[in-house]
Amino acid sequence: MSDGASLAIAFAITLGIAAVVGGLAGGVVWSGLGPEERAAAIEMLAPRTGLLIFVGLLGIGVISVALQPAIRSHFNEARRLAEEARIMLAANPDYRIEPRGTSGMRQLGEALNEFGGRVRELRAEVDVKIAHAKASVEEERNRLAALMSELTQGVLVCNREGRILLYNERARHLFAGGEPGIATLVGLGRSIFAVIDRNLVGHGLDAVAQRLAQGDAHPVAHFLTTTQGGQLLRVHMAPVRGLLQPGGEETTEQPEVTGFVLTLDDVTRTFEDDTRRDRVLHSLTEGSRAPLANIRAAAESLLDYGDMDDAQRARFLGVIAEESRALSARLDRTMHDHADSLKTRWPLENVLGADLIGAAQRRIETRVGISAKLDDVDAALRLEADSYSLTQALAYLAGRLKEALGVREVRMRLGRSGRNAELDLMWRGMPISGSVLQTWEEEPMRAGGEESPLSVKDVVERHAGEVWHQTDPTAQSAYFRLLIPAATAAVPARREAPATSSRPEYYDFDLFHQPGQSADVDARLLSELAYTVFDTETTGLEPSAGDEIISIGAVRIVNGRLLRHEVFEQLIDPRRPIKSASTAIHGITPEMLNGQPSIDRVLPVFREFTEDTVLVAHNAAFDMRFLQLKEEATGVRFTQPVLDTLLLSEVLHANQELHRLEAIAERLGINVVGRHTALGDAIVTAEVLLKMLPLLAERGIRTLGEAREASKRTYYASVKY
């Protein structure tokens, strides 16, 4: 009920009371008169009835006017207590109400002050617990940092999306490669794909997932990569797995992979040493073959023909001496020769053959688009192989068969042949000629839109193997056979990862008084509205101190559907330095912004993208403050209503401690992808909003106005920085 209605009711009650009191008083006087007195009174008052009514009403009016200040004071005092209670509870825990007014109002004010004091004590206790928790986490972090700094291997811990959560100095140094500026490729929040090929990482995760599915207690993968500085790295990948259900209960289901740990070894020196030894061995074997044959022939002639004359003997001895000197010189040259005349041997890893075949099967089906079946695969056979390049080679050959012969299905088999393994890629139909096979062997591999500078021949030579083509007339089929080294060993495992922090909450922008808000818009159902969900990345966290937007990402929601293809994504040149702490979170470097448009060119386009929609963001006041500060310079104003998923989370889950985007997404069962990129965060926020809409409806919050009012009453909406 409004204050006006309450005041009118109070006046009506007052008038009623005055009328009742006057009537009772008149009745008492009338009952005390005798018959003659009553007749005389009637005779005297009858002609003055109108005057009496007027005097009575005037008296009632005087009483009402006299009581009005007291009534208004009572209502004003109640409103003041409510307002000051809200200030004390929502904005300033140290604020205290001044008790005044009636005895009841003073007692209520004192009670609210006691309640406020208790709330402040509880908040102080929470603050102490938070401080203790932070101190404990900080201590654990320092211990981990000290441990990692002592490791001789590089270590990178990444989340499922490939964002770097943790790294040691050794890892940063490995990818720096001695080149200025390259060291920045490894940092908190940066993508691992900036330093390691996405396909290699995906191949490793596929291998880990397959081993998990097979019940392997220690699923790991290995692959090799090169850095921009030219180093050759051996990478050991192990998954980070969740052990408990979200509610904390143990589960018998397969733990979810939430990230991965990469352990890095620089094998450049080992590789070079092995190559050098290979060259020496080749020189001693192949290069010495002819001189040794000549020496042997000359020596045998001397032994067989002991009666030869001195001239012939001298000639044979000269051959022996000359070839001996040539052999000695060759040995000297091979010891110091670093020519690239021979192909280098690629370091190989011990892998399970069935895993390699399974990876090749998935690659052929997904990238080439033909069916791949397995025949007679030796499940225990292990290989000395680079599984990534081998699966590339098999997919490439399958692709060429599809293009040249129209093959729609291939079959693979794997078995042992002495010290080697025979890997066959089979198909039904026409065989190919030797010249075609030679062409396919020597050209760079391309399959499913993926290109490699290597050829099938390079891959086979790296494995010290062979490849050939055969036909099977009885089965009316043909096959490629790859002969590669067999092996015998097994592999170990690894552990878990911490999480990145979110940016702090900033509320120096009034979300609740946007010019574009109106009664019509507020009355519309949340389920009927169109939304632009957006996020910004910035040079720093202080919009009023000159920090600038460097990236905007946005996605639209229409009719309750997230339109993943209707997106806005743009990098922006801020024309000022980016703070290193910000780069560590979003991974955007100054080099990435060179040549990008300025904010005055981007905002008009973004404003058009948001036309006729409600703006939504997580911690929206932070992003809106940056936009507001650009209004004068760009002439672009964002006047739409704004919703904040941080505030809506507080409305829905007031008893939860965490309202960071990651925590909300986890609570609502949303998979976080592309965290700390503008578009990635916008998409996650959009999915959060869609999950929140039915929950809001259950609480009776169905319209935009109701959502805004509920948000306005949250604790976070009152925080200012």
Give mean pLDDT, residues 467-473. 84
pLDDT for 353-375, tens place per residue? 888 898 899 889 988 899 999 98
Tokens of 1: 């009920």
Give mean pLDDT, residues 480-485. 89
**pTM given for the model:** 0.39
Q: Which residue has the tokens 């009016």?
A: 61
Q: Where are the domains of the chain?
A: 3-91, 151-244+255-267, 271-336, 349-487, 519-718
Cα–Cα distance between 707 and 697 in angstroms, integer?
10
Tokens of 519: 């009664």
Report the 10 Å Cβ neighbour count for 162. 20
CA-based R_g, the chain, Å: 42
Torsion over CA: 680, 685, 691, 694 (sign): negative
Letter for the amino acid at 186?
V
Which of 163-177, 459-473, 523-537 is predicted with the least confidence, judged by mean pLDDT? 163-177
3 state SS of 168 = coil
Letter for the amino acid at 211?
R
Q: What is the pLDDT of residue 89?
A: 59
If you classify domain 349-487 with CATH, what class do you get?
alpha beta
CA dihedral (518, 523, 526, 527) in degrees, to 10, reads -130
Report the 10 Å Cβ neighbour count for 9. 11
pLDDT for 431-451, tens place per residue? 888 788 888 888 888 876 777
Is 261 within 8 Å of 253 (Cβ atoms)?
A: no
Report the 10 Å Cβ neighbour count for 431. 16
Kindly report the average pLDDT of the chain as a whole number: 77
Inter-axis angle of helices 103-149 and 49-86, to 10 degrees? 20
CATH architecture of 151-244+255-267: 2-Layer Sandwich (3.30)
CATH architecture of 519-718: 2-Layer Sandwich (3.30)
Residues marked active site are found at 676
Alpha carbon of 104 to those of 3, 47, 99: distances in Å?
A: 20, 49, 10
Cα–Cα distance between 709 and 718 in angstroms, integer?
13
pLDDT above 50 for 417 = yes
Strands (E), 418-503: 420-428, 444-447, 450-455, 466-472, 477-487
Is 519-718 the same fold as 151-244+255-267?
no
Cα–Cα distance between 353 and 217 in angstroms, integer?
18
pLDDT above 70 for 304 = yes
Residue 459, beta-bridge partner list:
none
Which of 31-35, 533-537, 690-694 is predicted with the least confidence, judged by mean pLDDT? 31-35
Q: What is the pLDDT of residue 614?
A: 93
Tokens of 139: 């201590």
Report the 10 Å Cβ neighbour count for 542. 14
Cα–Cα distance between 577 and 564 in angstroms, integer?
32
Tokens of 676: 């700390």
pLDDT above 60 for 130 = yes
